[in-house]
Amino acid sequence: MNEPKSVLIIDDDILYVKAIQTLLESSGYKVRSASNSRDGIELAKALQPDLILLDVMMSERTEGFFVLQELRRIPALSRTPVIVLSSIYSEEPIFRVDPEAGWLPANLFLAKPVDPARLLTEAERLTSGSLEEKGAPAAGRKQV
Amino acid sequence: MAATPVSARENTVFVIDDDEIIRLSCEQILKKSGYHVETFANGHVGIERLKEVRPPLLVVDIKMPELDGFEVIRIVRKIDPDVVIVVITGYATIETAVDAMKMGAYDFLPKPFTPGELRMIIERGFERWRLAREAQLLRHEKEQVERKFVTLVSHQLKSPLVAVKQYLDTLLYTSGAQLPGESAEWISRSQERISEMLKLIQDWLMLSKLDRGALTDRGVSSDIGKIAENIVREYQQLPSAAHVKLSAEIAPGLAQATGDGVSLAMLVRNLVSNAVKYNKPGGEVKVTASGNGQWITLKVSDTGIGISSLHRARLFEEFYRVISPETQNIPGTGLGLVICKRILDELGGFIDVDSKEGEYTTFTVRLPIASPIKEAEYADAVGK
């Protein structure tokens, strides 16, 4: 068997984290979490996870966006797949951002609550195969 | 008002009068009462200085050579809508004073006047200015509180619901098969109700944004054809839309529509969502878009349950929902069409509905064509 893939969840809603953690663990992922930006960035540096799930609204601000920019500035994390999970996008039925949109270097945006099957499919896709297939954005891509 | 810089100006009075005696006497009387006074022999000089100083109060003579008092009022009102204007009328006819009031003067002072009369009117003018400023500050504060309130509350309302829904989703996904009795059924019913509530909060947030005119952007253009195609494709893959056949027919070379991609996508999505929801099994949803001259016409047609003329008139009212045996189990917030209407109001577009009960409903949207045609920076908001 392969080494289990590791996922880091950065989200200040501890209850929400538990739900996602349970889901991911049921599919064999090793999950760690951080409930604020600073811990999230530190933990990401230390763990070098295979995937990061990132919330946007933390401490009543859009801190997630800054975390994302910050992560991309760290060489070891500049190409780590990141899924932005946020309830600020609850556009029905599915919120999608063009991977080429470039305004934020995330690999994927998903609306909370996320469909379990969808999340697991995307997690699987983003943690396997070559980086090119993931549409991993280059660090420091120009903002639109 | 927020831009007013100096506190020294708070007791400043400008006097514009071609009569030197009036200027001097005003200056003397008002200085004694503690006001800072600047006088000007003609309107041009006074207006130039007013641009820099922004005094709370302006006293201006009506009858002056070159620029008369009316002209001064007209120009000053454009520069500073908040300055309180008092007019001096040499011939104290009511008509002149009334005309000046109509143009935005607050009070008038008939010549000749006593020092007491002048002081009283100036004091009243300052009182007026202070009240107006307080009201404005309060309004500004209220707006900010409201804005923050809506954003925070909606986020705080959503977060627990999102967490609860995620638990239920996870529970059903990981152990749905092992759940006893009707548990799985109950869970999925709970999920549906939570989804409805989330949608309601989202719609409410959108409406409050629209109320502030903050949602749509008239200054940009979007590829409405591509937006419509993307949304149709999205729905074609949705399990909840599997009972209908969706198609899009976009005229080749369709012009760009006025509006940002996000709000236009919301508009189309609301209409397509309705066409799917209020359809019959095996029904059709057709989205067409074409352009001519000034307008892009977008039609969303379904072969659904239709809307009676009775309900059609009230469709665009907030929280209005058609209640009938066919619709009672269809979730909805009663805000979708209101949002569509408001987006179109802001963009200068129109929406109309045609329907026959039991047969079809067609929503026709007219959007102004953007000019000049720009790069559609926002068109991709719905993805590929």
Is the CB of residue A14 less than 8 Å away from at least one CB of chain B?
no
Q: What residues 81-140 of chain A have any CB closer than 8 A to a CB of chain B? A: 87-88, 90-94, 96-98, 100-101, 112-117
From CA A89, how far away is CA B186, in angstroms rounded?
27
Residue B190 parent element (H or E): helix B183-211
Report chain B's terminal Cα–Cα distance, integer Å.
46
Residue by residue, pLDDT tens for chain B (384 residues) are: 444 444 557 899 999 999 999 999 999 999 999 999 999 999 999 999 999 989 999 999 988 888 889 999 999 999 988 899 999 887 656 778 788 888 888 988 888 889 999 999 999 999 999 999 899 888 888 887 777 777 777 777 888 899 999 999 999 999 888 888 888 889 988 998 898 888 888 777 777 776 666 666 777 888 999 999 989 998 898 888 888 999 999 999 898 898 888 788 889 999 999 999 889 899 999 999 999 888 999 999 999 888 888 787 788 877 777 777 777 777 777 788 888 988 898 888 999 999 998 899 999 999 999 865 443 443 444 343
Q: What is the pLDDT of residue B378?
A: 39
ipTM at complex level: 0.73
Whether the bond into A93 is cis, omega within 30 of 0: yes
Length of chain A: 144
Q: What is the pLDDT of residue A139?
A: 38
Q: Per-residue confidence at A103, pLDDT binned at 50, 70, 90?
A: low
From CA B208, how far away is CA B146, in angstroms rounded?
9
Residue of chain B whose alpha carbon sits nearest to that of A89: B202
Q: What is the pLDDT of residue A135?
A: 45
**What Cα–Cα distance (Å) separates residue A139 from each residue in A38, A68, A99, A104?**
20, 10, 14, 10
Residue of chain B whose alpha carbon sits nearest to that of A108: B383
Q: With an 8 Å Cβ cutoff, are A90 and B158 in contact?
A: yes
B170 → closest Cβ in A57, A98, A116: A116
Which residues in chain B have their CB less than 8 angstroms from residue A113's CB? 162-163, 165-166, 169, 198
Q: What are phi and psi of B352, to 5 degrees?
A: -140, 155
* Residues B352 and B362: beta-carbon distance below 8 Å: no
Which residues in chain A have their CB less than 8 angstroms from residue B158's CB? 87, 90
From CA B75, how far away is CA B92, in angstroms rounded?
23
Structure tokens at B357: 């009960």
Which residues in chain B have their CB less than 8 angstroms from residue A114's CB? 166, 169
Q: What is the pLDDT of residue B5?
A: 44
pLDDT at A48 over 90: yes
DSSP annotation string for B203-246:
HHHHHHHHHTT-S--TT-EE-HHHHHHHHHHHHHT-GGGTTEEE
More confident site: B212 or A22: A22
* Residues A116 and B165: beta-carbon distance below 8 Å: no
3-class secondary-structure state, position B29 = helix
* Residues A136 and A81: beta-carbon distance below 8 Å: yes
Q: What is the pLDDT of residue B239?
A: 80
Q: With an 8 Å Cβ cutoff, are A93 and B381 in contact?
A: no
Residue of chain B whose alpha carbon sits nearest to that of A109: B383
Question: What is the least distance, in Å, from the CA of A35 to any CA of chain B?
Answer: 14
Q: With an 8 Å Cβ cutoff, are A20 and B170 in contact?
A: yes
Which residues in chain A have their CB less than 8 angstroms from residue B377's CB? 144
β-bridge pairing B295-302 and B360-368? antiparallel
Which residues in chain B have their CB less than 8 angstroms from residue A57's CB? 155
Which residues in chain B have their CB less than 8 angstroms from residue A93's CB? 234-235, 238, 240, 273
From CA A130, how far away is CA B214, in angstroms rounded?
41
From CA B380, how far away is CA B357, in angstroms rounded?
36
The DSSP letter of residue A121 is: H
DSSP annotation string for B323-379:
-STTTTTS---S-HHHHHHHHHHHHT-EEEEEEETTTEEEEEEEEEBPSS----TTG
How much is the pTM? 0.53
From CA A63, how far away is CA A69, in angstroms rounded?
10
Q: What is the pLDDT of residue A40?
A: 94
Q: Per-residue confidence at A89, pLDDT binned at 50, 70, 90?
A: low
Q: What is the pLDDT of residue B139?
A: 87
Q: Per-residue confidence at A52, pLDDT binned at 50, 70, 90?
A: very high
The structure tokens 């269809």 sit at B330
